[in-house]
């Protein structure tokens, strides 16, 4: 088994054992879609395109937040309790360590995202009477675009958490929350409810997500083990 797979499986197991993160992710995955469904249903007025666009605008911000939620446990916790020092002594490059941990974070976040998407589709379809579960572009959005953005979110935040000190990471959390709110507004502008979603929109979102993922990998490659050790409290 490759080093990447070993690290990723370790992070998945740790995520599944973290009841606090799982409960928070579960509550958020249910609460946010249900609250958003009321507004989407009211504005869509039974139009399938508007319903599909509304679901798209809420799933990516939720996906990004879930990536951040699980990422905090995977990266920041190990700096806080000092176990990151043991991992740094392992015969594996820091970039490969980052790749495995980011992938391990992405898997449980994506599973929770699928749960949130199912709740969104069921709630909005129930309120509007519009069935959009088999919409091809929406399926493509869930299968291709969403996991890319989760990986980008986890990768960027993880790389920053490795490079920054504990105080800076606290500030990073507040910045991310405001960025999360901005992201919702941005996607509402990119995907106007009256026009639905398009292949071009999905292509742009996928390209931006891949660019962010590449940026995260670049940042992680610039972080050194000495830098991480100096930021451990």
- DSSP letter for each residue of 90-125: SSS-HHHHHHHHHHHHHHHHHHHHHHHHHHHHHHHH
H/E stretch holding 210: helix 199-222
**Residues in the chain with pLDDT values less than 70:** 1, 38-50, 82-83, 87, 90, 127-134, 166, 173, 177, 180-181, 183-185, 187-196, 233
Q: What are phi and psi of 129, to 5 degrees?
A: 75, 10
What Rg do the C-alpha atoms of the chain give, in angstroms?
18
Predicted structure pTM score? 0.82
Asked if residues 55 and 107 have their Cβ atoms less than 8 Å apart, the reply is: no
Per-residue confidence (pLDDT) for residue 195, from 0 to 100: 54
Q: Determine the Cα–Cα distance for residues 222 and 201; give it in Å rounded to an integer.
A: 32
Other CB atoms closer than 10 Å to residue 201's CB: what's the count? 19
Per-residue confidence (pLDDT) for residue 190, from 0 to 100: 62
In angstroms, the first-to-last Cα distance of the chain is 33
Pick the closest to residue 178 from 68, 74, 28 (CA basis).
Answer: 68
Q: What is the DSSP letter of 75?
A: I
Dihedral sign, CA of 63, 144, 97, 214? negative
pLDDT digits over 98-125, tens only? 888 888 888 988 988 888 888 877 777 7
Domain total of the chain = 1
Q: What are phi and psi of 222, to 5 degrees?
A: -90, -15
Q: Determine the Cα–Cα distance for residues 111 and 69; give it in Å rounded to an integer.
A: 13
Domain interval for residue 47: 3-230
Q: Give me 75's structure tokens.
A: 């990266």
């Amino acid at each position: 088994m490759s080093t990447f797979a070993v690290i990723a499986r370790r992070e998945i197991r740790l995520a599944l054992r973290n009841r606090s993160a799982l409960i928070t992710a579960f509550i958020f995955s249910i609460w946010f879609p249900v609250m958003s469904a009321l507004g989407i249903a009211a504005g869509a007025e039974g139009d399938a395109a508007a319903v599909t666009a509304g679901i798209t605008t809420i799933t990516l911000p939720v996906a990004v937040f879930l990536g951040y939620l699980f990422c905090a446990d995977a990266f920041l916790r190990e700096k806080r309790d000092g176990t990151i020092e043991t991992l740094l002594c392992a015969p594996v490059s820091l970039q490969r360590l980052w790749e495995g941990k980011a992938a391990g974070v992405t898997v449980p976040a994506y599973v929770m995202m699928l749960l949130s998407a199912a709740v969104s589709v069921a709630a909005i379809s129930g309120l509007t009477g519009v069935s959009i579960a088999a919409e091809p572009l929406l399926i493509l959005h869930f299968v291709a675009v969403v996991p890319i953005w989760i990986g980008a979110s986890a990768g960027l935040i993880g790389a920053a958490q490795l490079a920054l000190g504990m105080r800076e990471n606290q500030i990073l959390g507040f910045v991310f929350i405001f960025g999360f709110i901005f992201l919702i507004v941005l996607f509402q502008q990119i995907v106007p409810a009256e026009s639905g979603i398009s292949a071009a929109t999905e292509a742009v979102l996928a390209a931006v997500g891949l660019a962010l993922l590449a940026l995260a990998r670049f940042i992680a490659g610039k972080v050194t083990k000495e830098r991480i050790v100096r930021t451990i409290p």
